[in-house]
């Protein structure tokens, strides 16, 4: 195999075993340029065929030449050189100096047998040649900080602490839902909230709360009585909602709007069991807010605040 130096275009013979040991990298003995010999391989061209030599020179006319030029030494040498095929000179064994460098002017013996796994020219290339092309030849002097055992332990402990913190935040955020769906976990959550200053409240799901029935009747003057029944359609205990009471006139326009909280009904209940009903009555006064003569109807809306 023949490889070409990309710097000075010098051709060298190489051996496959040599390239395998050096991972393809060679150094030019002519210009000291380090290059990838495997990537610069050249196709081997067979030497040109030597024209056949004739035993006798072609006949010449006597009337033109009075002497045979082929008998002259200079002419004979020129003729021999003209038909001599080109043979690439063999590379001589290199001469290495004390520092492992080849003697100046000697070509690299890339076709010679490699005596060791790390030939001197490869060590010389690793020491002197630098740059992105051969940066991988430099070995790491010390292990990375991230590969040390105590660093890995610190990272593992930090990751575990972050995971526990994230899980605790999730539990605190969903504490009401967890207590409603898993009642056995409620004592643990209460103990946790005592140290963190949080409160466990009934779950809020307004889609499962419906106003089953209601009535709004005038008792006397500007005093009215509101009666309402609320149903929990889910299987989970839910918090009591707030109520928005809207009084309307004959054109269904709002005359008075008031928000009623569960505490306004003077009931100790703060939640509704799953599938249960809750009913209460409340006296409402509209004195100074709206004229009883304008009140013709009402609307009740349940919501969570």
Query: What is the residue-level pLDDT of the chain in tens, covering all 305 positions?
Result: 788 888 888 887 878 877 778 777 888 888 888 888 778 888 766 555 555 555 545 444 444 334 444 444 444 433 334 334 444 455 555 566 666 666 655 455 544 444 445 555 555 444 444 445 444 444 455 667 888 889 999 999 999 999 999 998 998 888 888 888 888 888 889 888 888 888 888 889 999 999 999 999 998 888 999 999 999 999 888 999 999 999 999 898 999 999 999 889 888 888 899 899 999 999 998 877 777 788 889 999 999 98
Q: Are residues 18 and 125 in the same domain?
A: yes
Which of 209, 177, 172 lies closest to 304 in space, CA to CA? 209
For helices 186-196 and 149-173, angle between their N-to-C axes, nearest 10 degrees: 110
| Whether residue 95 is found in the same domain as residue 15 | yes
- Tell me, yes or no, whether 71 lies in a domain: yes
Residue 92 has phi, psi (to 5 degrees) of -80, 150
List pLDDT tens digits, range 93-138. Answer: 556 666 666 665 545 554 444 444 555 555 544 444 444 544 444 4
Segment 3-23, tens digit of pLDDT: 888 888 888 787 887 777 877
- Same domain for 11 and 132, yes or no, is yes
CB 31 within 8 A of CB 17: no
Domain membership of residue 187 as a residue range: 149-196
Helix (H) or strand (E) holding 217: strand 209-220
Together in a domain, 249 and 224: yes
Residues 52 and 160 both lie in one domain: no
DSSP SS3 for 17: helix
Burial of 28 (0-12, 13-18, 19+ CB in 10 A): buried
CA separation for the pair 19, 228 (Å, rounded): 94
Residue 106 and residue 112 in contact, taking contact as beta carbons nearer than 8 Å: no
* Same domain as 266, residue 299: yes
**φ, ψ dihedrals at 193, nearest 5°:** -70, -25
Please choose, from the candidates 69, 27, 289, 6, the residue with its C-alpha nearest in 3D space to the C-alpha of residue 14. 27
Asked if 65 and 75 touch (Cβ cutoff 8 Å), the reply is: no
Q: Are residues 109 and 223 in the same domain?
A: no
Q: Are residues 156 and 211 in the same domain?
A: no
132 shares its domain with 223: no
How many independent structural domains does the chain possess?
Answer: 3
Side-chain half-sphere CA neighbours of 195 within 13 A: 5
Asked if the structure places residue 143 within a domain, the reply is no
219 in the same domain as 158: no
Shared-domain flag, residues 9 and 122: yes
Is 201 within a domain? Answer: no
pTM of the model: 0.43
Decide the pairing of beta strands 34-36 and 41-42: unpaired
Q: Which two tokens stand for residue 281?
A: 């009555």
* 142 falls within a domain: no
Domain co-membership, 57 together with 133: yes
CA distance 3 to 18: 12
């Amino acid at each position: 195999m023949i490889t070409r130096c990309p710097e000075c275009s010098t051709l060298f013979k190489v051996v496959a075993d040599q390239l395998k040991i050096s991972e393809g990298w060679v150094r030019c003995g002519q210009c000291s340029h380090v290059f990838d010999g495997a990537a610069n391989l050249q196709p081997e061209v067979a030497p040109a065929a030597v024209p056949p030599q004739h035993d006798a020179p072609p006949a010449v006319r006597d009337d033109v030449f009075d002497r045979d030029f082929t008998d002259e030494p200079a002419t004979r040498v020129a003729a021999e050189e003209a038909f001599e095929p080109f043979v690439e000179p063999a590379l001589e064994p290199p001469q290495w100096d004390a520092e492992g460098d080849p003697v100046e002017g000697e070509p690299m013996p890339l076709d010679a047998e490699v005596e060791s796994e790390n030939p001197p020219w490869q060590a010389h290339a690793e020491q002197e040649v630098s740059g992105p092309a051969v940066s991988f030849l430099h070995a790491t002097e010390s292990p990375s900080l991230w590969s040390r055992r105590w660093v890995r332990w610190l990272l593992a402990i930090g990751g575990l602490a972050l995971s526990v913190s994230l899980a605790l935040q999730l539990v605190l955020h969903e504490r009401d839902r967890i207590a409603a769906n898993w009642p056995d976990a409620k004592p643990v959550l209460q103990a946790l909230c005592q140290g963190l200053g949080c409160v466990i409240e009934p779950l809020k799901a307004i889609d499962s709360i419906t106003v089953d029935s209601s009535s709004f009747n005038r008792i006397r003057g500007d005093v009215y009585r509101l009666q309402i029944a609320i149903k929990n359609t889910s299987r989970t205990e839910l918090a009591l909602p707030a109520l928005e009471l809207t009084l309307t006139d004959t054109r269904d326009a709002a005359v008075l709007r008031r928000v009623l909280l569960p505490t306004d009904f003077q009931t100790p209940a703060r939640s509704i069991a799953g599938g249960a009903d809750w009913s209460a009555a409340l006296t409402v006064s509209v004195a100074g807010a709206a004229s009883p003569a304008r009140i013709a109807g009402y609307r009740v809306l349940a919501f969570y605040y």
